[in-house]
A and B are shown apart, each in its own frame.
Chain A
Amino acid sequence: MPFFGLAINFIVQVAMCRLRLAGLFLSHVIALAAGAGAILATWNLPAQTPDGMAANLLIYLLFSYVYFQVNHMGQTARRVRLARDLEPGALTRAEILARYDAKEIIDHRIDRLIAAGQIAEKNGRLYLNGSAIYSISVLINLLKELIFPAYRNDVRTRGEDA
């Protein structure tokens, strides 16, 4: 059942993108709802229980997250851009760095965070505004400290330096 929902999700997302009916993020939101709706429509099937439905929806949401991440990686990941830059031929460290503008990368991300309401800019200073991405950041930092024993919180040091 979750794979039926995933198939609907995939078809709707690809169709919306190819027909240019929505951008990448919106196409995923609509496709996610379509796939979940298809799973919920099987509610009256024999042998379907609330717990079983919950398990199916959970599996569906997890695989949908994976599909979203694959597309999101292609959209924003530095590793994808680096791989594309290296495809024509090998580059030195200086040649790689010449293709990137750190200020531009930071400014682009700050603008996206402001647009998403996660941070606010007042009188030229940046403040935390939302809690969603901050919660993810806290979770990721906890995972780092759990997984990597020698993990030194570089960010903490950098923040103090700043």
Chain B
Amino acid sequence: MYCTESQCQQGGIMTIVIGFGAFVVAFLVHVIWWRSFFVKNTGVVLIAVLSVSIGVVIFGYLAASLWLALPRNPIALLQATTLAFALAVAYVMTYPAVEVPSPTLVIIDIIARAGSPGIERSALNRTLDDDFLVMARVDDMVNERYVRFANGRYELTPKGRSMARFFVKWRSFLRLEKGG
């Protein structure tokens, strides 16, 4: 038994409420931050903002539980922290699609807006050009410091080189084609 019967009964609900609560607070801090400042290197800043906010909520709950009659189940609190970080990591993985338009989602959006008459393939090809499909992502990589722009050329930073090598090695380990 890693908790008493009453602790266990309150544990699951406490985990879900505190875990989601901590993530919602962290998400709101992120929204306020992004609306207030021009954020560069968004990936790193996003991870920092979410982690610190979740940490503050969890420690705040711990501190409050010393004075208020709040449930104090260490296992459930650890589980809640894990849940909040799991939500945060899942959001961080989804965030690039929010920041830079994903071609697949844009295609779906345009087709949905065309409605019942539909749309021709050629119209999509005219709309979604190289600038939109490629250079928007290059700019995003410069912003994220995976790539630097110097003397009219784009080159990988050590961070970008590590990412490229990680994916090449990982996909080779899985015996998959290069991908991308």
* Residues of chain A whose beta carbon lies under 8 Å from any beta carbon of chain B: 2, 14, 17-18, 20, 24, 46-47, 49-56, 58-59, 62-63, 65-66, 69-71, 73-84, 86-87, 89-93, 96-97, 100, 102-103, 105-107, 109-110, 112-113, 118-119, 121-122, 124-128, 133-134, 136-137, 140-141, 143-144, 146-149, 154-156, 158-162
Would you mind naming 9 contact pairs between A and B with Cβ atoms under 8 Å apart? Answer: A51-B11, A58-B16, A62-B87, A82-B180, A83-B147, A86-B155, A102-B125, A109-B107, A126-B118
Minimum Cβ distance to chain B for residue A113 (Å): 7
**CA gap between A24 and B167 in the complex, in Å:** 14
Contact indicator A52/B176 (Cβ below 8 Å)? no
Additional pairs, 12, CB under 8 Å, beyond known A24-B174, A52-B15, A87-B161: A51-B12, A52-B11, A56-B79, A66-B86, A91-B153, A106-B103, A110-B121, A119-B108, A127-B114, A128-B112, A144-B98, A159-B109
Cβ-neighbour of A162 out of B11, B30, B112, B126 (below 8 A): B126
Contact indicator B121/A14 (Cβ below 8 Å)? no
For chain B, which range describes its interface: under 10, 10 to 19, 20 to 34, or 35 or more residues?
35 or more
Given A96-B154, A133-B104, A147-B98; A83-B146 close (CB under 8 Å): yes
- Per-position 1/0 for B13-44, Cβ under 8 A of A: 10110010000000000110011000000000
* Residues of chain B whose beta carbon lies under 8 Å from any beta carbon of chain A: 1-3, 8-9, 11-13, 15-16, 19, 30-31, 34-35, 76, 79, 82-83, 86-87, 89-90, 93-94, 96-98, 101-114, 116-121, 123-130, 132-135, 137-138, 140-141, 146-147, 150, 152-156, 160-161, 163-165, 167-168, 170-171, 173-176, 178-180
Contact indicator A75/B176 (Cβ below 8 Å)? yes
Cβ-neighbour of B160 out of A59, A73, A83, A148 (below 8 A): A83
Residue of B with least CB distance to A50: B12
Contact indicator B168/A84 (Cβ below 8 Å)? yes
Given A65-B90, A137-B112; A106-B12 close (CB under 8 Å): no
**CA gap between A113 and B119 in the complex, in Å:** 15
**CA gap between A71 and B179 in the complex, in Å:** 10
**CA gap between A18 and B131 in the complex, in Å:** 37
Contact indicator A102/B155 (Cβ below 8 Å)? no
Which chain B positions have C-beta within 8 A of A92?
Answer: 152-154
